């Protein structure tokens, strides 16, 4: 079945827009003007701040020897980047260490941060759009600079990055982080059909470093092509050989929108794996023995001005419809993409890659639509559990956590049935997410974060109660019993919280209706066990109990604990009474912040407040 949306027509339309609005031509002009700079340039044009980085400055810094492919952790000792840039497996993103060193050099040895503050601090002046641009090595610095501004949340309006002939920068973890934060739309990478630089890091860095040193003077205009022909052939051959023997170990993956340009036009692709396959396909179609092709691989790298001019003229004059005999708009859209990219409409691997990308995107969007329908149905189960919670408190005078743990009535059994149905639904979501069957930004969408957080805060107490009712006093829920769904949903919420401003995360003025820390009752259960062991002479438990008391105090001061926790006879209140009794025996004058809070709450309860 064909995708519902004309995915590849959209790719053409994106290219048309970017070319027609003049933004790419201006970005290229600014990039070229920055070539003589040793660090960066910052200029305003028509209300936009352009920050540009030089193309070929400090090549020795880029040529690193760390690892086979030159990759390393993006999180350095000076903490320029935070742990926000990590994969779905919590592993920190890897980036090319030469690129990172170029960026860090500018950060640490210039007034880059000071000048940029003029455009990120709303107190200093009216904010203007920021455009980070760069060609070649300047492109990798522009990419990292954009990531730095994005992950520091320095401004309300996001920066935009445009690169030309930029090498790949990071690994799949970086791609996942960018997708999770919904930042892919902030990057546009322009790639010419034959330009070898965007593809060169697909080869082991050690196999291209020496040739690059020889070739860079040609790109700087210092030597003629005839002086570096052998180095060009060597680098070209090494990249082609690496592609033909690809073993999947190369860490680099593209992210953002890639605009592929050729003599036939231009087209945009956003899917990371499809972009990677296009980089492979366009490179592998070149004949290594053709001297003209080899020269194009290097001359096109410094000819983006001509490339853009030609592509713009192509769009103005119009483009022919490839494969006009096809009755399928979908197939015609793919053919237009292939023709514009320059790989040919009959290139089966490229066609299959584009088809699969369209099918995958459609499948992911369809999966979300289906889950949204199911979510609406599951909200009824959530409402029934909220009603169960209210009945326990108002009719039975007991906390729903304790009622569920005791399982004394039919309503507790029915609550368990609803718990299990919700468990299956959220386990299904987490499994689909882990299998990459959902959009890359799924876990950052407010709808699903809010739904998952509400579910976790209402239902995890029931999971905790079930665990301690059935484990017969053995084991710790947090260490051995906590389901993966709660861990993942909590992680999604915490990552999203980092993106919210300090104003939106202000102090609460009203008590939470559900305890914000869904693990609360597990801490209570462990505190009760620790207290029993303390009474038996295990004095090492005292520190755990004091930490728990501090934890509750902090939570209560922030109004993060729901009122049912303090109901007379709750597991928490039982623990508190026993803990207070123990401490009073040790020291009759004992008091603490929590003691004062509990005394105040007890006074209010006796007054019927």
Condensed to tens digits (0 to 9), the pLDDT of residues 10-46 reads: 455 666 677 777 889 999 999 999 988 889 999 998 8
- Distance CA(189)–CA(143), nearest Å, equals 10
Domain identity same for 479 and 516: no
Domain identity same for 112 and 231: yes
Domain identity same for 92 and 150: yes
Domain identity same for 119 and 260: yes
Domain identity same for 553 and 474: no
Residue 356 lies in a domain: no
Q: Interior CA angle at 249 toward 432 and 491, to 5°?
A: 35
Helix (H, G, I), strand (E, B) or coil at 77: coil
Is residue 113 over pLDDT 50? yes
pLDDT band of residue 228 (cuts 50, 70, 90) is confident
Domain final residue, candidates 265, 292, 318: 318
Domain identity same for 85 and 175: yes
What stretch of H or E contains 210?
Answer: helix 209-219
Structural domain of residue 592, as residue ranges?
504-608
Is residue 604 over pLDDT 60? yes
What pTM does this model have?
Answer: 0.78
Helix (H, G, I), strand (E, B) or coil at 507: coil
The whole-number pLDDT of residue 3 equals: 45
The whole-number pLDDT of residue 122 equals: 60
Domain identity same for 537 and 476: no
The whole-number pLDDT of residue 607 equals: 62
The encoded tokens of residue 312 equal 């713009």
Domain identity same for 81 and 110: yes
What total of structural domains would you count in the chain? 3
The whole-number pLDDT of residue 330 equals: 56
Helix (H, G, I), strand (E, B) or coil at 194: coil
Residues 6+ apart with CB under 8 A from 149: 116, 120, 130, 132, 155, 159
Domain identity same for 466 and 524: no
Domain final residue, candidates 454, 481, 503: 503
Domain identity same for 535 and 404: no
Residue 570 lies in a domain: yes
Average pLDDT score over residue span 92-110: 93
Domain identity same for 81 and 204: yes
Average pLDDT score over residue span 75-85: 82
Q: What is the 3-state secondary structure (H, E, C) of 196-207?
A: CHHHHCCCCHHH
Domain identity same for 265 and 159: yes
Integer-rounded Cα radius of gyration of the chain: 30
pLDDT band of residue 231 (cuts 50, 70, 90) is confident
Is residue 8 over pLDDT 50? no
């Amino acid at each position: 079945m064909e995708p519902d949306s004309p995915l590849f027509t959209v790719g053409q339309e994106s290219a048309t827009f970017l070319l027609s609005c003049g933004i790419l031509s201006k970005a290229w002009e600014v990039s070229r003007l920055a070539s003589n700079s040793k660090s960066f340039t910052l200029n305003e044009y028509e209300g936009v701040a352009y920050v540009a980085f030089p193309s070929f400055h400090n090549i020795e810094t880029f040529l690193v020897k760390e690892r086979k492919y030159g990759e390393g952790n993006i999180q350095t000792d000076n903490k320029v980047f935070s742990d926000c840039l990590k994969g779905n497996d919590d592993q920190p993103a890897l980036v090319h260490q030469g690129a990172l060193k170029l960026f860090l050099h500018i950060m640490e040895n210039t007034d880059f941060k000071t000048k940029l503050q003029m455009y990120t601090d709303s107190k200093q002046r009216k904010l203007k759009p920021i455009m980070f641009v760069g060609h070649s090595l300047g492109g990798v610095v522009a990419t990292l600079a954009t990531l730095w501004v994005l992950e520091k949340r320095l401004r309300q309006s996001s920066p935009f990055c445009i690169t030309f002939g930029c090498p790949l920068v990071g690994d799949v973890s970086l791609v996942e982080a960018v997708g999770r934060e919904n930042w892919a739309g902030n990057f546009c990478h322009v790639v010419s059909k034959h330009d070898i630089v965007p593809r060169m890091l697909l080869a082991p860095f050690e196999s291209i470093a020496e040739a690059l040193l020889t070739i860079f003077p040609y790109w700087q205009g210092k030597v003629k092509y005839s002086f570096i022909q052998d180095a060009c052939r060597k680098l070209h051959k090494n990249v082609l050989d690496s592609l033909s023997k690809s073993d999947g170990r190369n860490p680099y993956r593209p992210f953002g929108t890639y605009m592929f340009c050729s003599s036939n036009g231009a087209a945009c692709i956003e899917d990371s794996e499809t972009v990677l396959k296009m980089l492979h396909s366009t490179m592998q179609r070149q004949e290594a023995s053709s001297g003209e092709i080899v020269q194009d691989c290097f001359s096109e790298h410094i000819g983006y001005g001509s490339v853009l001019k030609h592509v713009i003229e192509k769009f103005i004059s119009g483009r022919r419809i490839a494969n006009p005999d096809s009755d399928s708009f979908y197939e015609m859209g793919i053919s237009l993409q292939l023709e514009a990219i320059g790989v040919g409409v009959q290139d089966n691997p490229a066609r299959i890659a584009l088809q699969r990308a369209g099918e995958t995107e459609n499948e992911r969007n369809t999966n979300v639509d289906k889950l949204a329908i199911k979510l609406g149905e599951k909200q009824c189960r959530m409402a029934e559990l909220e009603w169960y919670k209210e009945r326990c408190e108002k009719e039975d005078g007991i906390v729903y956590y304790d009622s569920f743990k005791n399982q004394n009535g039919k309503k507790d059994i029915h609550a368990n049935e609803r718990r299990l149905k919700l468990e299956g639904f959220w386990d299904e979501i987490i499994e689909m997410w882990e299998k990459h069957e959902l959009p890359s930004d799924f876990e950052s969408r407010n709808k699903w974060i809010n739904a998952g957080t509400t579910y976790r805060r209402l239902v995890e107490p029931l999971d905790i109660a079930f665990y301690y009712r059935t484990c017969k006093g053995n084991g710790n829920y947090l260490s051995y019993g906590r389901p993966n769904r709660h861990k993942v949903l909590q992680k999604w919420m915490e990552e999203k919280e980092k993106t919210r401003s300090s104003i939106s995360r202000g102090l609460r003025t009203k008590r939470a209706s559900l305890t914000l820390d869904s693990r609360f009752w597990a801490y209570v259960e462990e505190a009760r066990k620790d207290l029993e062991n303390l009474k038996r002479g295990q004095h090492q438990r005292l520190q755990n109990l004091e930490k728990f008391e501090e934890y509750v105090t902090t939570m209560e001061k922030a109004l993060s604990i729901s009122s049912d926790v303090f109901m007379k006879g709750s597991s928490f209140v039982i623990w508190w009474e026993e803990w207070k009794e123990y401490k009073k025996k040790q020291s009759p004058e004992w008091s603490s912040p929590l003691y004062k809070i509990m005394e105040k709450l007890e006074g209010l309860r006796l007054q019927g407040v």
